[in-house]
Structure 1
Amino acid sequence: MTFLEPMAWALAVSLALVVLLHLLKRRRRRVPVSSLVLWERFLQDTRASHPFQRLRHSWLLVLQLLALTVLVMGLARPARTSVSPPAPLRVLILDASASMRASDVAPSRFEQARARALRLVAEAAPEEELAVIRAGARPELVQTPTRDHAGVRRVLETLEASDEPGRLLPALRLAEALVRHQPEARLELFTDGTAGDWEEGYARALPLTEHRVGTAGHNLGVVACEARVDPEPPHPVRVVARLSAFSDRALSGVVELRAGPEVVERRPVVLQAGESVSVSFFVPEARPGLWELVVETRDDLEADNRVWLAVSPPRPVRVLLVSPGNVFLERALRSLPRAQCRVAAGIPADLGEVDVLVLDRVTVAGPLPVPVLAWASWPWEPTDRTKWVDSATPVLDWDPAHPVLRHVRLDDVHAARVEVRSPPPGAEVLAECGEGPMLLAGERGGQRFVWAGFSPLDSDWPLRVSFPIFVANAVEWLAAASATKATVRAGEPVVLRWTRPGSVVRVTGPDQRSWSWRVEAAGDRAVFEGTERCGVYRFEAGGETWEACVNLLNEEESNLRARRPALGALAEARSAGGTAVHVRREYWAVLATAFLLLSLTEWWWYHRRSV
């Protein structure tokens, strides 16, 4: 037994004060009585010359001394330390984000975290279960709970940090699910404290111990970059990048732009502590291929010192118009500067060469594998949530904030025959008449669509200036969804659209790792999620090749400073051997309850005697 506040025992002198109060003579009040015979024994004390009286037995005194003793012991905070057996389960969570690759500690933050985790595994008791979670852009349970500690060490030795942004909250939720029904289990988090999705209250409610790695760090990195190609020949290119200095001192370097193997321009930069600057390069003529923006500097993180860009002139949008005949719609599509329009009487079976499908008064049997602009043609399965209006119907309201209706006015548009529908899941209303929605846009089945409940031939819209603007906006918005992004951030998926069933997609990463899978059905949108490393990924399918550039471009990961104080360990402190836990139990709450009960008893006894 130990006392955490031993100085509180000085208050024990109050026990003597209570006894002294009981020894003092009480001052008597003079009262006239008929005889002093019965009071003679009590008058002997008052005739004594000294102020104290003989101590008599009193239950009030006993109760008061006991209550005061219990109070003093409670203020001294008695506690007992005992050794408890090791936890039945311990979950190790390793932060594998890009900032963990920083070299402010040798050899890196992740290697230091791995070494601490391996040391914890070596100290674990043989009967203790261990599990391992890798916390990247998506949490991954790389080792289920097991007592095979040698296997856990092998798993830890194979883990690597990635270039993805860190997300600790999903990893903590996964760990919580593992230990939910085991109250003695513990979580061990190895991180540098830079994650942006941290929730302090949630973390403190978990049986969590945080192992912090890394120092402040100094980093000069690219946090944003874009290559803009002019659609008009000779297609000049402007590359704009934003650099930030995450340090408490000035950082300098040289920014170099390369077009393939050729160096386009080199420019020195000096940034003060916490400063951000924009750097712009102009190239008068596009050189199709892979470009690189490189920052030559000495800092603690290399992942944000290089950016890959896929530069090429804009490809024409392949538009297929399926209609029994609509000269207004055909002219509007052919007038688009970046569109190649074809006309057909029916929907072909193979839509592999189509970026945007335009339907006019065509019956559709089911979902289509390409983005659709539909006029009086519902591009999905038939439903009964529809209503036809066979009278002149004006547009009463529209949404000018949507990209499809940018610079479009519909206040003078009327339709002679219009179909109104309730928006399905994933769709929003762009325009409506008095009877309901007549213009919808959204995404279903992974494909964007724009639906109009009337044909241009049944309205006066083709006679308005807003009609070709609407067609251009709709085709541009739909084509943006059908095109595969040539540049994504680390951790983001690359979405490919291969329409030939049976095609095998092969991917080669920047570290020469490879993946492959087969596309089962026409129009399947193949999704590649293995973008853990920055660099160039090469895709091959059906005789076609394509490249995607993966870059960090994440300000939270480039900032190597921790965003919060380290979460304190639990009240349980690990012993030197690490196989057991010293648990300190305090008893002040029990003593406080006893003091309250004794005080109530003393009060009851005093009033009982008085009555």
Structure 2
Amino acid sequence: RVGSIEASNIGIASIAAQRPYDEPGKIQVFIAVENPTDQVRTTDLQLSVNGVVRAITPVPIEIGPETEEPGLGRIPGRKQFAFAPFEQERDAVIEVLLLNEDAQPTDDAAMLVVPPARRLKVALVDTESFVLRSILEGMTLESLDLLTLDAYETLAASGGLDDYDVVVLDDAAVETLPPGRYLSFGRTPPIEGLTEFGDPAEGIVVRRSAEDHPVLRYVNLDELFVSSMRKLTTGTGVESLVESGDGPMVVSVDRGPIQIIHATFDPLDSNWPYLRSFVNFVPNAIEYLGGLGDAVASAGVAPGSPLTARLPAQAMDLRVRRPDGSDVAVESADPMTFAWGPVRRAGRYELSWTEPGDDSPRRRIFAVNQLDPTERRAAAAESIELSLDRITGEAAAAGGTRWQDFWPWLLGVSLVLMMLEWWLWQRQSAAG
């Protein structure tokens, strides 16, 4: 038998993350730890973000032993654990570590990658808009297109608005609202759940705001004054984010394929463009709408699998940094279908590249996690079954005699016989 039947090991079986529905600016990490041994095991858990320790379990968690289930065989003991939610927007590497010593440390760590905010394609409807346009032009966007009202309606009819991540309506009197994500100001968009009534309200100040919502992060509305605001009644699926004594000022509308953040007043009818809160609100809303539906964290790959990514077609100088810190240059005929591997070790891999006209490298991080339940069983099997036979392994006693101990002597005798045969042949050849 190779190895020891007493080698014990526990490992991380799964790792996941999600944002609590009532705290979308936070992330909560969940893990499951498995114990494939017949003994109860305990361990502490450590959570790190970008290499900085965020949490350690106050008391060790206990994982029960494996059990024998009829028809299923041996089932490892399993313990699930949820860390407390913590503040984290985007662009982070989250790592969970088991603080214990066992036979296989590879599965004692697992990582998740929270990707950075992606560059968005945005359309601004109202070519005369200068306040919103100046803010959007200052953002890092993939593209910003200015559309007239007629151009918007043409794209809406042909499905061309699907090319944009977010459409901004600056007091635009649109007639249709196809599926998409919208940031709207002023005129009420034509959607169920938002109904205007009465004359516009005047002299409006904020009474309440949902400060925990991502759209209102770092948005202080204490000094906001609105001279004219449309009064609305709201239906189901509409959340009021900012309220006044005369009704909602900012609402969030969820209609499945249609998502809207709508301000019920034109920014030019207020002092908002002169306040820092407006400069924070617009990027918050764009990034929030553009990121709806994106996964909180990218799933890791298993050792033995390739790293794959879709890179810009003009990407060059591709390099991969492995977990041990070594770099390797990568040649890719088509960066848009990049693949490298298979990866041999678990850990963090970093892909970097540059683009023409920009010397600053771009990066993408991959997490490679060893979560295979078979690899988690580090102990040698006591026996194996072959067809109808069961073979039981045996370990040689310390100090005992094994056939393997004679191989150096047998090899030496063989060499002596070969040399003797060669000497006799040489002697006969010389004698003629």
TM norm structure 2: 0.45
Larger strand percent: 2
Larger helix percent: 1
TM norm structure 1: 0.33
Flag the structure with larger Rg. Answer: 1
